[in-house]
Chains A and B, each alone.
Chain A
Amino acid sequence: MRFLKIAKDDWTRGVEDLKKSFRVFGPVKEKEAYDFRLLDKGVLPDFSFQNTRLSPKSTVYPQSEILFEYTLDESKADHHVHKVPEKDYSPRVILGIRPCDAKAFELVRLNFDTPEYKDPYWLSAYEATTKVGLACDDPCSTCFCTSAGSGPYDEAGLDVLLADRDDHFLAKVLTEKGEAFVSAAGWNTEAPDAEAGFEKLAAEAEGKVPGGVPTDKLADKETVALHGADFWEDVAFSCINCGTCTYLCPTCWCFDIQDEVKGAEGVRMRNWDSCMFPLFTLHGSGHNPRATKVDRVRQRFMHKLKYFVDRYGRGIQCVGCGRCVSSCPVNIDIRRVARLMNEFEPAPEKCPA
């Protein structure tokens, strides 16, 4: 780990040099909002954002991705054989990822990289990716990263962390991938005294993040009692079961697999799916184990704030980015639900008459 100083005068040159050996993704403003895009030659990441509208998870895990191609044309020798299409897993860098979103990759990894199963598509893309964070000095009012086990200067999942200092960036190089990144950009001005300053900035930024989303008692709750809590109907009433919360979430990982065939040529693809959709759990028999809106809303919160906590023992499946809070069309607020769940006490059992 070491510190570098990157003068902003030298930024454009460095980013363009990076593009010689990396595919560079960064936030850009399109129409109304910021999102991560592959940056063409001459295009710089636009760091005047608070956070992007969609999380950067799609840079590794696209919303729609072809897994296999095949032909049903029996005159061809390879008919009915699944072939993996050519993919670009050359080195890529995400420039300006927020620390919460970087930590989210580590949570999503728990699903795609397990001792039993290794998802080749996700892992190949993940391993090809260098994540260069941009610390948050100006958090949103809907942010709660510090309550969710992350923070505005959190280094989890990052290879380099940048702090924006007027005419320069301070860079904390955290990994070997980070070293390769600064070397490719030609940034090598050491800033050995930066450590104390970095810590001070982090402390200041953490103080600005709205806090107070308690999650400390979730692990101790009895799952069945929490599942049966009396607040779920009220929490779920306004929900319209759209996919906004899950699609904007950096930690939601669920997908659906579909075959699309045109004539004799087909592809098998996976698309993001959402536990808010009735179709998500609809069985072939017609039975739906989560048939009602309350079932689905409860599942989303129980997964993120209880089942995940119990299964992995590393906190909640949420990094506090606040996207679901600010974009929900009907103002369902995970901060409020976390409080309800954390404070829940089951009603005392009644004595049998």
Chain B
Amino acid sequence: MSDYTQKIRETAKKLLSEGKVDAVIGYREGTLPLMAEPCLVKDPEKVDQLVFNSFCGVNLANYLPKRKDRVAVVAKGCDSRNIALHIVENQVDRERLFVIGAPCTRMVDRRKVAAAVGGREISGVSEQDGKLTVSGPGYEQTVDKKDVLQDNCSICIHRNPVLADEMLGEKLPEQEADRYADVREVEAMSPEERFAHFKDLFSECIRCYACRNACPLCYCPTCFVDESKPQWVGKSIDPTDTMTFHFLRAFHCAGRCTDCGACERACPVGIKVRQLTRKLEKDCLGLFDWEAGMNPDVRPPLDTWRPEDPEEFIK
């Protein structure tokens, strides 16, 4: 059992039995190897289902808006940044929230693990010292965790929570990373090449909205694609409608996306949705020296106006 798991259970038990919160939002063991399921625990006697491991990639900040009760939530670095945004955007009342901060040990992409074992069935996995031991019918294979990280985790530079009421461990060292290598490749394309690139990127989309629904930023009561008066976007899998959905959704996330990777992780057909959001992240960094969710007291740049805002792009 990881140290975090033990501490989460102790904290949850204490908070619930002392009546400090009504519920704790965390992860429980998945029914599949390499998965963990978000869960809500209200009973202090049931905290032992809570776990923390390398498969807790779901962003729990997504489960906070519209809650009326007092909850505690387990938050990795990115989750905590989304909580900070929720606070700025008045989606969460800080007074009713207890943040259990988890300096993040980086999350594993189960598709990469599946590829690393050649697509063979995986019936069990254990992790120790930066290695995953994967087993299945007739084989056991050890994989370096760093080779199978979620793409966003491998370039993450903010693994430590930006806010917490209790920390599960000491802060971990942050890494330097080139976050935008693939974005620059797309920027270097001609408009025709770029359009072809995006058309191909979204060609397999089935409009299930898993990317949108997994995203903590997408809390609008009615998403623009679900509006009917007027109807802005067609509902078929016509490529123009599908791209309209993805592009507009990405723009709604400009200056707000924390690159938690929830969208890509959720996509059932493996679309690299973050190519769009990271371009916007790069632009916000360049134009406004801005990284989303680092401070719960500062509004995102596209949500405010300052006299010194750059305006060279207004022609």
B-binding residues in A (CB < 8 A): 30-33, 53-54, 63-64, 140-142, 233-234, 237-238, 240-244, 247-248, 256, 258, 260, 269, 271, 274, 277-279, 325-327, 329-333, 335-336
Tell me the bound Cα distance from A279 to B37 in angstroms: 25
* Contact indicator A243/B210 (Cβ below 8 Å): yes
Counting contact residues on chain B (CB < 8 A from A), the size range is 35 or more
B285 CB to closest chain A CB (Å) equals 28
- In the bound complex, how far is the Cα of B12 from the Cα of A74, in angstroms? 69
Least Cβ–Cβ distance between B199 and chain A, in angstroms = 14
Known: A31-B204, A234-B40. A53 touches B268 (CB 8 A): yes
Nearest CB on B from A234, distance (A): 7
Residues of B within 8 A of A (CB): 30-32, 35-40, 58, 62-63, 111, 121-123, 136, 204, 206-210, 212-214, 226, 234-238, 265-270
Contact A142 B32 (CB under 8 A): yes
Q: How many angstroms from the CA of A247 to the CA of B62 in the assembled complex?
A: 23
A242–B31 touching, CB < 8 Å: no
Flag if A32 contacts B270 (CB, 8 Å).
Answer: yes
Given A54-B206, A326-B32, A256:B213 Cβ within 8 A: no
The prevalent SS among residues of B at the interface is loop
> Are B235 and A271 within 8 A (Cβ)?
yes
Residue of B nearest to A48 (CB): B119
Given the contacts A260-B234, A271-B236, A336-B31, A329 and B38 also touching, CB distance less than 8 Å: no
- Pair B268/A238 contact, Cβ less than 8 Å: no
Q: B39 touching A329 by the CB < 8 A rule?
A: no
Q: How far is the CB of A42 from chain B (nearest CB, A)?
A: 22
Known: A63-B237, A234-B40, A240-B210. 19 other contacts (CB 8 A): A30-B204, A31-B270, A32-B111, A53-B268, A53-B269, A141-B123, A237-B40, A240-B266, A242-B209, A242-B214, A243-B208, A244-B268, A247-B268, A258-B235, A260-B234, A269-B236, A274-B208, A330-B38, A331-B31
B24 to chain A, nearest CB (A): 12
Identify which of A31, A54, A325 contacts B32 (C-beta below 8 A). A325
Tell me, rounded to whole Å, the shortest Cβ–Cβ distance linking A201 to chain B.
18
Q: Decide: B268 and A240 in contact? CB cutoff 8 A.
A: no
Q: Please give, as numbers and ranges, the residues of chain A lying within 8 Å of B269 by CB-CB distance.
A: 33, 53
